[in-house]
Homo-oligomer: A and B are copies of this chain.
Amino acid sequence: MAKDRKKSAKKDAARAKGPRPPKGASATRLTAGAADGPGGFGAGDRPSVVVTVDVVLLALREGALSVLLVQRGREPGLGSWALPGTVVDGDEKLARAAARAVAARTGVSVGRRHLRQLAVFGDPGRDPRTRVLTVGFVAVTDRATPPAGGTVANGRWWGVGEVATKKGPGLAFDHGDILAAAVERVRSDLEATDLATGLIEEPFTLGDLRRAYEAVWSTALEPANFRRKVLATPGFVEPTGGRRTVTTGRPAELYVRGTGVPLRPPLLRPS
C-alpha cells in the first residue's frame, strides 16, 4: 500500500504544468495571512531581486580536472577571474541562460545531458539597492576547447588545483564557494551515475574512463576491479569492437557511452 503513495505523488507532480495563475499571486496569498509583514507585493512596492546564473564548466585537460574561467574586463576587479555567467532574461529558463553563458564563451553547446542545477548562492546585503542571487550550475564537457591550454574569447581553462595557488587566478566574489560545491557534486555524482563518460571523448578505453575517475576523485583505482565493476553495469558503456594502440602496450578495447544508467550499487570512492 505504501507503494501506491509514490505513484500518486508522481502523478501529481507531473500535473500542474498547464495554464496556471501567475506565481506572484501564490506568494502573495501565502504571505498574506501570517506575521510576515505587509502582505503581498504590489506593482510598485515588491522587493526586487536580480537573478544571475554562474556555470562551473568542467573538463579534463592533460589528465587534470579543469574549470573554465573568464577574465573580467572592467573595474572593479579588472583582471581577476570569475565563472562564466549572465543575468537571466525575464522570459528565459534558468537552464537556457546557463547554456547561453557557456556558449558565449566557448562555442560549445552544453547539452541538457550534463547541465545540472547546483544551488542558489548569495546571501543578502551586498548591494544596498538591489539583491542579487546567483543560481549555480555545473556541467561537464569532453572537449576542453581550445585543446592546448589556450584562450577562449576572454576565457581560459584552469586546473582546479591551480585556482587556489598563488600563481592561480584568485576568484571573484563567492565563486570559490560555487566551484567547491560543483567539484563536490561531481565527485558524488561519479559514484552513482555515468557522469564520467561526459568528461571523455568517444570512443574511449576503460583506461580513459578510469583516469577520469582518478582525476576527479584524486585517487588511484585498481584497474582490474574498476574494469569488472564497469562491465558488470549494463548500459554504462558499450563496446565498439575496435581497439586503440597509443604508444606501447597491448591495444585497448574501445567503448562508447551507454544508454545512461544509475550505478547500482554505486561505485564508491575509496575511504
Give me the interface of A with B, judged by CB distance under 8 Å.
1-17, 20-37, 41, 43, 46-52, 54, 63-65, 70, 72-74, 76-77, 82-94, 100-101, 104-105, 117, 119-120, 122-127, 129-135, 153-154, 159-165, 168, 171-177, 179-181, 183-184, 211, 214-215, 217-221, 264-266, 268, 271
Contact = CB atoms under 8 A, between A and B. Distances in A.
Contacts of A28: 74
Contacts of A84: 30
A92 to B, nearest CB: 6
A17 B50 contact: no
A14 B91 CA distance: 34
Contacts of A181: 13
Nearest to A131: B90
B41 A50 contact: yes
Nearest to A265: B268
A72 B105 CA distance: 45
Nearest to A51: B49
Nearest to A77: B21
A58 B163 CA distance: 40
Contacts of A70: 30, 33
A164 B64 contact: no
The CB with the most chain B CB atoms within 10 A, among A6, A33, A86, is that of A6
B49 A184 contact: no
A134 B27 contact: yes
A104 B35 contact: yes
Contacts of A25: 76-77, 127
A2 B134 CA distance: 30
Given A16-B179, A22-B126, A30-B70, A160 B87 contact: no
A218 B90 contact: no
Contact of A174 (B20, B134, B176): B20
A9 B160 contact: yes
A74 B32 contact: yes
B46 A47 contact: no
Contact of A47 (B2, B88, B265): B88
13 contacts: A2-B220, A5-B215, A6-B218, A6-B219, A21-B126, A21-B172, A26-B72, A26-B82, A26-B175, A27-B134, A33-B72, A49-B88, A117-B120
